[in-house]
Amino acid sequence: MSSDVNPPLSAGRPFRLIVTGGGTGGHTYPALTAVRSLRARLAAGGRALEVLWVGTAGGLEERVAVSEGIEFRAVATGKVRRSSNPLKLVSPANMKDMGRVPLGVAQARAIVSEFRPDVVLATGGYVAVPLGLAAKMCRRPLVVHEQTVRLGLANRALARAATRFAVSSESTLALLPEPARSAAVVTGNPVRPEVLAGQPDKAVETLGLHGFDRALPTVYVTGGAQGSQQINGVVGGVLPWLLTQANVIHQCGPANVEPLREAAAGLPEELAARYLLAGFVGSELPDVLALADVVVSRSGAGTLAELTALGKAAVLIPLASSAGGEQAHNARHLAEAGAAVALLGEVSAQGLQGALGPLLANRAERTAMARAARAHGCPDAAERLVDVVLEAAA
């Protein structure tokens, strides 16, 4: 047997996985969820999992891997700064970073040759490119997972090298290069199991929401962990009206609590009792989502995977600066299916009120949107991706 081939999978030895991807939570957390699911699947069959995470030094993926007890190695990587002007693509910064790619590939090839993985799982981000190319060079199976409707630059570069190409949406299949389509499979985007197990009454008790009127719908507003000035601003502009229609949990970002608290100080007592302002929602998130009838949020791939898996009516306000306008595309995709309302371009308080009003006033409309959202969800996406990883290894 040659030195670059592992013993048969049936030998009972540990399954060896290299996972790569990161830079953002959208690439990192689906990878982590897949690793956890693979470990549980193998353990149920009496096998161990040995994982090596390869990413960018100091990146989110390193922090996540270390906190999870996963061995981490860093490689050099380059970033392409996008621009509608082709001349700007050859900027000094782009040229400098792209010059790092050959070094990253050499480092990645050494890592793959040494670790001898059964599979390399790449979930996107620039760091995935050298590992994906190294997997191809070392003849190791490569599974690529795309979280968004449109292909990210890194995954587009790896499409032809992939043994299997897992996508989150049926709509992505037509965007793949022709040779990659035969290796493609729709898995959905992995969602943390705990997100699917929330309990509405637990949110009420944990967060002390005893002033909420349970006869009214509940709106959860979130701009992500750091909050969103844009979302905070438009919600603040309709807050007195909104609280006559609904209970509101507003996750505004730690730095934004005091200004918003001051703005809400003049609310009538009855309305103030229906408003919870929180800098950050952590372990309570599954219960908050279970309680929410409508969610106002950004439209990143991870957020939408959770909302559709849960079947939540949503008003989406895309982050305008997301790479390649990806969030706007995600939001438009769901809106066209009746699975969300998308507020694109300049968003005003009046526009938000116009989007929320019909949903809050009409339970049937909320229910229909929630049903359409659930039709786009894949709560078992992690298990489907594990199936693909094991099939590629076999």
pLDDT of residue 152: 84
Provide the CATH topology of domain 193-375.
Rossmann fold (3.40.50)
- In one-letter notation, the amino acid at residue 240 is P
Q: How many CA atoms lie within 13 A of 341 on its CB side?
A: 21
Cβ distance 306 to 222 under 8 Å? no
C-beta pairs of 48-52 under 8 Å, 24+ apart in sequence: 48/14, 48/15, 49/14, 49/15, 49/17, 50/14, 50/15, 50/16, 50/17, 51/17, 51/18, 51/19, 52/16, 52/17, 52/18, 52/19, 52/111, 52/115, 52/117
**In the chain, pLDDT over 70 holds for what percent of residues?**
91
CATH architecture of 9-190+380-393: 3-Layer(aba) Sandwich (3.40)
Q: Cite the beta strand spans of 292-380 per DSSP E.
A: 294-297, 313-316, 341-342
pLDDT tens-place values along the chain, 394 residues long: 334 555 555 557 899 999 999 888 889 999 999 999 999 999 999 999 999 999 999 999 999 999 999 999 999 986 554 545 555 544 555 545 555 678 989 999 999 999 999 999 999 999 999 999 999 999 999 999 999 888 888 899 999 999 999 999 998 999 898 888 999 999 999 999 999 999 999 999 999 999 999 999 999 999 888 888 899 999 999 999 999 999 999 999 998 999 899 888 889 999 999 999 999 999 999 999 999 999 999 999 999 999 999 999 999 999 877 767 889 999 999 999 999 999 998 999 999 999 999 999 999 999 999 999 999 999 999 999 999 999 999 8
Structure tokens belonging to residue 134: 């190294």
Cβ distance 111 to 17 under 8 Å? no
Q: Do domains 9-190+380-393 and 193-375 have the same CATH topology?
A: yes
User: Could you write out the DSSP letters of every residue in 25-48?
Assistant: HHHHHHHHHHHHHHHHHHHHTT--
pLDDT of residue 83: 47
pLDDT of residue 1: 34
Question: Residue for token digits 């008003």?
Answer: 315
pLDDT of residue 77: 83
Residues 164-217 pLDDT 10s: 999 999 989 998 988 889 999 999 999 999 999 999 999 999 999 999 999 999
Residues 223-246 pLDDT 10s: 888 888 899 999 999 999 999 999
pTM of the predicted model as reported, rounded to 2 decimal places: 0.86
Domain positions in the chain: 9-190+380-393, 193-375
| CA-based max dimension of the chain | 77
Question: If you ran DSSP here, which 8-state letter would residue 75 be given?
Answer: -
pLDDT of residue 180: 87
